[in-house]
Chains A and B, each alone.
Chain A
Amino acid sequence: MAHSQSIDKAKILETFPLRQALPAAVSGWTGGREDQVFNRDDIFDYLDGGGEIYLAYDFQFVFVREYVRPDAPSIVVEIYQMSSSQDAFGVFTHDTDGEEMELGQGAIYGAGLLRFWKDTIFVRIMADRETPEAKSVIMEIGARIAAAIPGNGEVPGLIKALQVEGLRPKSRRYFHTLISLNAYLYLANANILNLSPETRAALAQYDREDSTARVILVEYPSAERAADAERRFTEMFLLERYEAGRKMPPKKIEDGHFAGLLRKGTYLIIVIEAGEKPVLDWLIKTISHNLEGGKP
């Protein structure tokens, strides 16, 4: 993930096709404040203290429009332009609580908040408070935006590799850096997996044979960097001596759960919180097989 250069905001306001797709008015709601655009340089002017989550992906800019109507909740439309469909999917997976819907390539709605992704776009539309009419308008605006995005994008390959029996679909996360991992799953107060903008990482939770487990799958730019992360996880999390080339057996940790890992070239498969050792073994074996089979 190489960060994009900041983009001319005036030009976006003039030419952004999805802005043209937005209705000037809908069911009595009309434009409130002037349309705004924030890029990597000034995202904190919009999300003070929250921009880090987007900057952790190759976020290019966000277009923001507000709709208002007297005596009705205001509705804010945010259209995030990412540089890749993988990163649009990744941002979409940041918070998956809500009801899944058919829109774009994946959508979730709950209590006045709609989120969906399609191709390189992530969209977030929220009403101040949910009313039946506001919900209807949110859906209409969402449908217009989705229809104006011409193509579909690829789901990250790592996510496909995690598609095995027992997967909780809404537990899937795709990201690059430590700040994202820490928002989903805390491993340590240091970057023991050597995550960086150049790494691709995915996370998922499984229910299998009355047991649960979590998998972290990371793809590194080189086998050397993957091996270094393998060493660091072995020494700092499993608290075991690392020997290059030696397969580390799963380890039962303090809470009675099992943790283990396998490096496969540039990939590192880590399983934690496994209730049973056979579940850990099965997940590593199956995901490893998926990686061999060219799923990613």
Chain B
Amino acid sequence: MKKRKTAGICTRRDFIKGAALGTLGMALYGKGRTEAAGGTGGAALFAAENPQSIVVLIRNEKAVGAADKVDAAVVQEMIDAALKEFSGEASTARAWAKYVRGDDTVGVKFSRCDWMRVHTDQAVIDAVVKRVGEAGVAKERIFAQDGGLPFAKCTALINVPPVKVHTLTGLAVAMKNYINFSPAPSKYHAPSTNLGEIFLLPEVKGKTRLIIVDLLRPYFGPGPQVNPLHRWNYHGIMVATDPVAVESVCLSICQAKRNLFKGEPWPITPPPDFIAAADKTFKLGTSDPAKIKLIKLGWDKDILV
């Protein structure tokens, strides 16, 4: 008689079967992983006709130039164009006005990691801060910070993370960007399943108005310390309001890049199970690619999703 002796154990086999993390889990470990993770079949994902969440991805070949220099003007244009698309507004001002009011106190939460060097690019931070100011928020009520951001007194948060595969959490994008809002951030490292509960802290809950992801130069290697071979110029910016959908799309992009780099499946490990938990347990959004509509703008070479 076959019998599983221990409840609550989730193994590699559960990912293969799709019982853990659904389609995305199968993309990491299942039979169809190459296709589902950005190979030839990748186009079928993130194409919901009646989406629960919309994610806008814009890319511009000129965003990152020689010696990896980021063009701030191009980045500003990309963010403006993506936000107009996401909001459905024709002008940049009207688009921002949908998410930020003049009487808001706004926290622009970015990620800065001196030793790893994969942090939110200054051009992205500056572009966001500029538009928040133009939306009528006084300079003294805009807090663009990583550590020490006074999120409790903010009425609105704009989540501005970079993208990296992470040794302890699997993936670090919008969810992990809030880790230092927790008084005990290390409890969300290995395992990171409950990372989503940070979004439900009383001082954080309901405040995130926008997520603007720096996908200019993501990191796909194992980390924690950077290996320059594992960084690539993707030239992208992503805009959304659903942090779980953002993680799902970024997971697919990073997994596809890893597979391309190795020439064979190279699953992200540990699997970022916090994505499924953020969906199913904490109800922060959807991780299901079938419920997400990804709108792609601009340069599409090597888009991987």
Contact = CB atoms under 8 A, between A and B. Distances in A.
Contacts of A184: 222, 269
Contacts of A188: 9-12
B273 interface: yes
Contacts of A129: 67-68, 228
A47 B29 CA distance: 30
Interface residues of A, number: 42
B225 A47 contact: yes
Contact of B269 (A124, A186, A236): A186
Contacts, number: 120
A35 interface: no
Given A186-B269, A187-B11, A190-B9, A240 B2 contact: yes
Contacts of A255: 16, 29-31
Interface of A: 46-50, 52-53, 94-95, 97-98, 110-113, 124, 126, 128-130, 179, 182-190, 192, 235-237, 239-241, 253-256, 272
Contact of A97 (B31, B189, B227, B271): B227
14 contacts: A48-B115, A52-B167, A52-B189, A95-B227, A97-B227, A111-B227, A112-B228, A113-B228, A189-B9, A189-B273, A236-B5, A253-B16, A255-B29, A255-B30
Given A52-B190, A236-B5, A253-B13, A183 B222 contact: yes
B178 to A, nearest CB: 14
B1 interface: yes
A52 B225 contact: no
Given A50-B115, A190-B9, A241 B2 contact: yes
Given A192-B9, A253-B16, 14 more contacts: A46-B115, A47-B224, A49-B224, A52-B189, A95-B227, A97-B221, A112-B228, A129-B228, A186-B29, A187-B11, A190-B6, A235-B5, A235-B6, A236-B4
A98 B12 CA distance: 28
Contacts of A124: 225
Contacts of B227: 95, 97-98, 110-111, 113
A235 B4 CA distance: 6
B42 interface: no
Interface string B1-33: 111111011111101110000000000011100
Nearest to A233: B11
B191 interface: yes
- Count class of interface residues, chain B: 35 or more
Nearest to B225: A50
A235 B191 CA distance: 22
B29 to A, nearest CB: 8
A256 B32 CA distance: 12
A185 B268 CA distance: 9
A134 to B, nearest CB: 11
B175 to A, nearest CB: 14
Contacts of B229: 97-98, 110-111, 113
Nearest to A180: B167
A94 B1 contact: no
Contacts of A253: 13, 16
A53 B167 contact: yes
A296 to B, nearest CB: 26
Q: Which of A110, A192, A255, A256 has the most CB of B within 10 A?
A: A255
A48 B113 contact: yes
A94 B222 contact: yes
Given A235-B5, A239-B4, A182 B270 contact: yes
B116 interface: yes
B101 interface: no
B267 interface: yes
A219 B221 CA distance: 28
Given A49-B168, A98-B229, A240-B2, A254 B16 contact: yes
Given A186-B271, A241-B2, A253-B16, A110 B116 contact: no
Q: Which of B6, B228, B273 has the most CB of A within 10 A?
A: B228
Contacts of B3: 235, 239, 241
Contacts of A47: 115-116, 224-225
A184 B10 CA distance: 17
Contacts of B10: 188-189
Contacts of B270: 182-183, 186
